[in-house]
Amino acid sequence: MYLWKVNDLKKELIENKMTELDKFKYLFFTAMMYSLVYMLNCFYPVEVTTTFSKVTGVIDFIIDFIAIIVIFKINGGRNGKEFLARYTSLHCVFGIRLLVWFIFYFLFVIIASIFISSTMNLNNTDQIQDNLFYAGLNVISIIYYWKIANCIKYIRKEELKSEA
């Protein structure tokens, strides 16, 4: 099981060496990451939701919906192979990378909002942080799915080469 090395994971997926236990591990680990995020949200809920946060939430849902369909088609659609193994394992590895990247993103949002509110003499730093955070989530989602799509596209290309 690879938690960081995407190239090694891609090689394993191309060679179709992933066992059912490996597939289970990736699914289990991904489910635990989602559960952890949900649990943290329960302990540290967002106090105020704004129209902006709701709109970006809907946009993120649409991005997720479209991205999974597009990635399924990139994998070959109905004629593709091992979509769930490929998607789940890449989703897990990129999810771990995303969690690490979020640390830097949170720091950026905090520093940027303090800078913006101090240079513009604004008192609502929290609102600026929220807007920067939610706007960035949509961009991050697009990059995240783009990375998964590129990996699956590469795997599919290599798969078709070996079949020819």
Contact present, 90 and 154 (Cβ < 8 Å): no
The model carries a pTM of: 0.80
| 118 belongs to a structural domain | yes
Which residue in the block uniquely carries the two structure tokens 């946009």? Answer: 59
Of the listed ranges 13-27, 47-61, 109-123, the one predicted with least confidence = 109-123
Contact present, 89 and 83 (Cβ < 8 Å): no
| 64 belongs to a structural domain | yes
What DSSP string runs through 97-164? HHHHHHHHHHHHHHHHHHHHHHHTT-S-HHHHHHHHHHHHHHHHHHHHHHHHHHHHHHHHHHHHHHH-
| 1 belongs to a structural domain | no
Domain region containing 34: 6-163
pLDDT value, residue 45: 59
Contact present, 53 and 110 (Cβ < 8 Å): no
Whether residue 44 has pLDDT greater than 80: no
Q: What is the mean pLDDT of residues 131-151?
A: 88
| 84 belongs to a structural domain | yes
Domain count across the chain: 1
